Amino acid sequence: MSLNDAIQLHQTRSYENRVYALKIFKELKNNYWIGYYYEQGYGGLNIDIEKAKKYYQIASFEENSDAIYRLAVNIINYFNVNDSDEEKKINNMYSTVLLKKSAELGHIDAAYYYGDILLNGKLDNEINTSVAYIYLSFAASRSHIKAISLLENSYHC
């Protein structure tokens, strides 16, 4: 079976089909989808964010914009509360670099989040309104509602 067949099985939302889809993703060594299944707990897997991040990391080497984006989001959302300030800074920097890379590969959500980070100085980043505008405009040009709203409210377009 092909990757498209497995994705079609996934989209049925049936537990049995997702178990079968996971088997195909593993046979195809599709690290993005395996990571996604660990992140969401699909296909009979328990949710395991650390495993998901490992699969996303591998898929990111293949320039998979979805994997790069999911890796960044998981680093941001599932930080370790026991991390030192230095570790938090490194994770913030790494997730920002990942969002930028994913946006450069055309990922619309990544472009929005990266623009938002730069516009508002989030994740220990300095405010850079001119670069933020570029990324937000890209996302908005592809009908990203939050990007459109942020542009309207911040730049009075």
What's the predicted TM-score (pTM) here? 0.91
pLDDT at position 157 over 90: no
What whole-number distance in Å separates Cα of residue 52 and Cα of residue 122?
Answer: 24
What whole-number distance in Å separates Cα of residue 23 and Cα of residue 4?
Answer: 14
Structure-token match 């939050």, residue found: 146
Q: Report pLDDT for 80.
A: 74
Q: Report pLDDT for 105.
A: 98
Mean pLDDT of the chain, nearest integer: 95
pLDDT at position 79 over 90: no
Structure-token match 């395996």, residue found: 34
Higher pLDDT, 153 or 78: 153
Residue 156 burial (CB count, 10 A): 6
> Contact 35/51 with Cβ under 8 angstroms?
yes
What whole-number distance in Å separates Cα of residue 24 and Cα of residue 72?
Answer: 26
